[in-house]
Amino acid sequence: MSRITGVRGMNDISPTESATWHFVEATAREVLRCYGYREMRPPLVERTELFRRSVGEATDIVEKEMYTFADRNGDSLSLRPECTASCVRAAVEHGWLRAGGQRIWTIGPMFRYERPQKGRYRQFHQLDVEALGFSGPDVDAELILICARLFARLGLGRLRLQLNSLGSRSSQARYRDALVRYFAHHRDRLDEDSERRLATNPLRILDSKDPAMQELIDCAPRITDFLDDESAAHLQGLTDMLDRAGTSWTLNARLVRGLDYYTGPVFEWQTEELGAQNAVCGGGRYDHLIEDIGGSGAPATGFAMGLERIVALLEQQSLAPPPPCPDAYLVAVGGEAQREAHRLAETLRDRVDSLSLTVDAAGGSFRTKLKRADRSGARYALILGDAEVRDARVGVKALRDESEQRSMRQSALAEFLRG
Ligand code: HAM
């Protein structure tokens, strides 16, 4: 039979890698608890209209990267390419904001039909954090400080914070006009994609990776020269707070982000260690999205972190924890011993808190079974033969040092393993 393989760009997380994922997830969970954020879990599938209206019709994500399908009713649904829209949809739908601002987070897979390469996948995972209903720069600062604390707890250094402001909608409109005038004047130097974006989404031209266009982009008008007083003051308030908290940042007037809902400050954490896919986290303020999705207007801000990229950095910097090993590995030899093994194992699990005990399940000789015990990484092999069953005893062999195998009463084993 031919072998069925996984879908391109959608990866398996192996039993060896999952310890690193657990480490990242547990650390994130703990850091977010420290800041008073609460977890929510939106579905993976939403109405396509949600992403059209939030992420934006003229973005790469909506134009060419969504997994969109009609369900059996004919409704157009999409696998979520991101989950800010879902968090906002849920908050509006369930009236969460009636109780005041909401600090929420969620974690899980997102789907984008991008060209897969190192660090860029079609199914990838984000830690997504959203602060809904807060207007001040203090909450933007809080989100950035959460990222910094999470990186520090994971042991990750060398990440750079890039900041920009996309300004209010009126600042953005004035900037857009200036950009269109500028790029239209240099139309002959635009590549095909940028030519198209000139009509649909001129800000995205700034994000072009085409080397031939870099000089043109470098000389383009800068958003920071178009900010109205309020947007400029908001950015200033944010940078002041970051300075006081000792978090360094760089202003990057070319940082435009790939989603249309942003207004005000936006940011990205970048690394030089992952090649082209250098953004490990991105976010910003989106003060109109709640209203655009049908809620009564409220400001909001948030970020999402790409977990594959965080895991890759941990592995690259040798910070990934080793895969967990069982404390003990039970080897049963003989018919009666094999029938008895699970009873003994269950008793031990009842009596020793958080004991990790593997019961050997494959056949083979005693020697083979002991080899498997050793390969499991367990500290002890517990050896149960028919004679041990008869005498209510068990053999205990230390696998990580040279000490002698000994025989022990089964009733003493729990105490021994606890020690
Ligand atoms: P984003 O910049 O599209 O923002 O994604 C955030 C992060 O997800 C990126 O910095 C990157 O680490 C990771 N990422 C994105 N696409 C891929 C991919 N194809 N493969 C692997 N990792 C990827 C958002 O999604 C916004 N919803 C963030 C946000 C939340 N803004 C406000 N609240």
Give the tokens for residue 194.
Answer: 């940028």
Residue having the nearest C-alpha atom to atom 17 of ligand 1: 120
CB of 241 closer than 8 Å to CB of 138: yes
Name the band, by pLDDT with cuts 50, 70 and 90, for residue 363.
confident
- Cα of 258 to ligand 1 centre, how many Å? 9
Q: How far apart are CA 417 and CA 419, in angstroms?
A: 5
Residues 83/89/90/96 CA torsion (nearest 10 deg): 120
Q: Which residues contact 23 (CB under 8 A, 6 or more apart)?
A: 154, 314, 320, 321
CB of 97 closer than 8 Å to CB of 91: yes
pTM: 0.95
> Which secondary-structure segment (H or E) carries 332?
strand 328-333
Residue having the nearest C-alpha atom to atom 16 of ligand 1: 120
- pLDDT score recorded for residue 388: 96
Residue having the nearest C-alpha atom to atom 11 of ligand 1: 306
The mean pLDDT value of the chain amounts to: 96
- Cα of 75 to ligand 1 centre, how many Å? 26
By most ligand atoms within 8 Å of CB, the mutation choice from 79, 111, 124, 140 for ligand 1 is: 124
pLDDT tens per residue, range 181-234: 999 999 999 999 899 989 888 998 998 888 999 999 999 999 999 999 999 999
Q: Which residues contact 188 (CB under 8 A, 6 or more apart)?
A: none
Residues having CB within 6 Å of any atom of ligand 1: 82, 84, 112, 114, 120-121, 124, 126, 128, 130, 258-259, 279-284, 302-304, 306, 308-309
Chain-centre distance of CA 144, in angstroms? 15
CB of 44 closer than 8 Å to CB of 109: yes
Residue 33 vs residues 36, 37, 128: alpha-carbon distances, Å: 5, 6, 14
pLDDT tens per residue, range 266-319: 999 999 999 988 999 999 999 999 999 999 999 999 999 999 999 999 999 999
